[in-house]
A and B are shown apart, each in its own frame.
Chain A
Amino acid sequence: MGNNVNRGWAAIGALVAGTSALVGCSGPQSTLDPAGRGAARIAELFWGMTAGAVAIWAAMIGLALYTVARRRTEPSPRAPALLIVGGGVVLPIVVLTGLLAWGLAALPPLLAASDSDRTIVVTGEQFWWRVRYLVPGGEAVELANELRLPVGEAVELQLESRDVIHSFWVPALGGKVDMIPGRRTRLTLEPTRTGVFRGVCAEYCGTSHARMAFAVVVSDEQEFARWLAQQAEPARPATEPLAVRGQELFVRSGCGACHTVRGTVADGVIAPNLTHVGGRLSVGAGLLASEPDGFQHWIAAPERLKPGSAMPSFAMLPADDLQALAAYLEGLE
């Protein structure tokens, strides 16, 4: 019976370990399921190092077993010196030099120049991402907490920070690069397949560091161009009665002092641009679904959902006002 219990535990253990391993290997935020050129090089490096580590481990265990099996024979006096010089000096130099060369060779794709003259500026702010598409000769298109890229095109991201050090990381697409106040760092992403991926801040930046995520949507060229053209449009005025009331409330409550909705009087620049917020995948930088409920929760309790957020709470507004505001924002597609 004890045997059965043990076997039961072993099965559960194997299941847990297996599931975690599988979860870690795929999904929208995995370095091991690369969807970009940079990430693919990093994944190759990882698998290569893993294979090397397994080989070294096997060799060491083999050596240990060999020593145990041969323990009765007297070792030759030159053997220890050979082992120390060979295994302790020559082998590490060869292995590490090889790894360094391989690692450095993986860098250029991460820093490669853009295929096009398209530039995207991503600014880290506590605790959200400001994304601006610089269109040559045109006005910049600004959005927040979402990045869209065309598949198969190398696009240079210019990374900035407004407050503290953040780090930009989309594990499935490329390496991670710090965003440093007062400096502009660069990263080139070249997605190799379409899909929705998850990016995170990879440098502790304050209380809500863990709640600072963003979505990266990779689509084909036509879809991307259509999306960018739509983002450049001003917001469509609300038509549905509840949303119309929400639009009035948005102005009346002073939301425009911090937020911009292009095409309206709201022209604030210190908070996320909401011109097409209803079309984004999430509210509050990856916190809530972009649905009326999500907007309503966020407006009423930003401090609870994201401690340290600069967004003040509007819980003092009556529930039907919050509903109207949510309907307006959700409709800004």
Chain B
Amino acid sequence: MKGRSILKAGALAALLAAGGFLLAASGIVPIKASSGHFAITEWFLNFAKRRSVATHTIGAEEPALDETWLVLKGAGHYDLGCRPCHGAPGSPQPRVARAMTPPPPFGPEIAAWEPEELFYIVKHGIKFTGMPAWPSQQRDDEVRAVVAFLLTLPDTDAEAYRRLVHREEVAASPDESLVVLGECARCHGVDGCGRELPAFPRLAGQRSEYLVAALQAYADDQRHSGIMQPIAAGLHVDDVRRLADYYADLPGCPPLAAKSASASTRGERIAYLGVPERRVPSCTDCHGPGFPDRSLAAPGLAGQYAEYLVLQLELFRSRQRGGGSHAHLMDPVASRMTSEQMYDVAMYYSSLPPTGQ
């Protein structure tokens, strides 16, 4: 008796599965986005999405969003990578995105999520929607920047948004034939000096060979960044060379305000002598100052934002940075440095006058 009911249930399940397959095979179910979902389908899918995100962020720590410049960095990426679908303050939801099923939420509504949930969604994307994963899974720091910006979005008006996203009128580009410069200048400035906060590295005076190699490494998936990789991959090879030459030819930037003279003094020692007891070599042989014949594969660091330098060292330490053909030389060096030593040496380089490299 019992055996027969199990047999019956099995037959029923097989029948249902076959029916489902036949339904799909017949092609009756419309895949078109134009009709949207039934209300109940939409509710169910949203319910499943919220539950999945909630479950997968159980025990997740709230992302650290303390650095003041995170919002600025996130805004720059938002305008380029997110706005086309999610819109921005002062402009309506983009028309094309509204035709998607499901339609992407309008920017200012996004902050209804908890910070750790936003982090999860921005990093991993959402299946069966248009939401892509972060292009580089190594760069949680970039994801945090976007989350920091998204949390401020409801309180950001059109004017504030414009000021966050653009440093200056991009029309001021001196080289009109170099249209793509606008994309770079949004964050790195037409003068190559970055923004008022240390969100973006200064490029003015950096050697052209290094800038080309860096863009190439981003484009080839050798250097990791969800922000720079898509931009670099979209550049024409001629533009890469011209952009690099443009930034290399710029004069240096105004010096940065000295923050800690004692850290800078300690850092100077590390830069010139390394930390022999930890097997950290000196920095200057490859990164200057001095050494006019130093490697073209190593960036000059004088006058660079200290926060940016610390971030790079931390990325090297966790093997998440990647880079050009010589980047692996830095991995063990960063691994042997303490966080204090990183801070000190970054302070030293940022205190140097940023004369062209």
Contacts and interface: CB of A to CB of B under 8 A. Distances in A.
Contacts of B285: 251, 254-257, 265-266, 268
B284 to A, nearest CB: 8
B209 to A, nearest CB: 12
B212 to A, nearest CB: 16
Nearest to A251: B293
Interface in A223-274: 248, 251-258, 265-266, 268-271
Contact of B291 (A248, A251, A268): A251
B295 A268 contact: no
Contacts of A257: 274, 281-286
A312 interface: yes
A248 to B, nearest CB: 7
B274 A312 contact: no
B329 A270 contact: no
A185 interface: no
B84 interface: no
Contact of B279 (A248, A251, A270, A313): A270
B274 A252 contact: no
B255 to A, nearest CB: 26
B280 interface: yes
B118 interface: no
Contact of B332 (A162, A252, A268, A312): A312
A195 B225 CA distance: 58
Contacts of B291: 251, 265
Contacts of A310: 279, 332
A163 to B, nearest CB: 9
Contacts of A81: none
B174 interface: no
A313 B293 contact: no
B325 interface: yes
B282 A268 contact: yes
B241 interface: no
B4 interface: no
Given A268-B285, A270-B279, A310-B279, A253 B274 contact: no
B298 A254 contact: yes
Contacts of A265: 285, 291
Nearest to A316: B325
Interface of B: 273-274, 276-277, 279-286, 291, 293-295, 298, 325-326, 328-329, 332
11 contacts: A251-B294, A253-B295, A254-B286, A257-B281, A257-B282, A265-B285, A269-B273, A270-B276, A270-B279, A312-B332, A316-B326
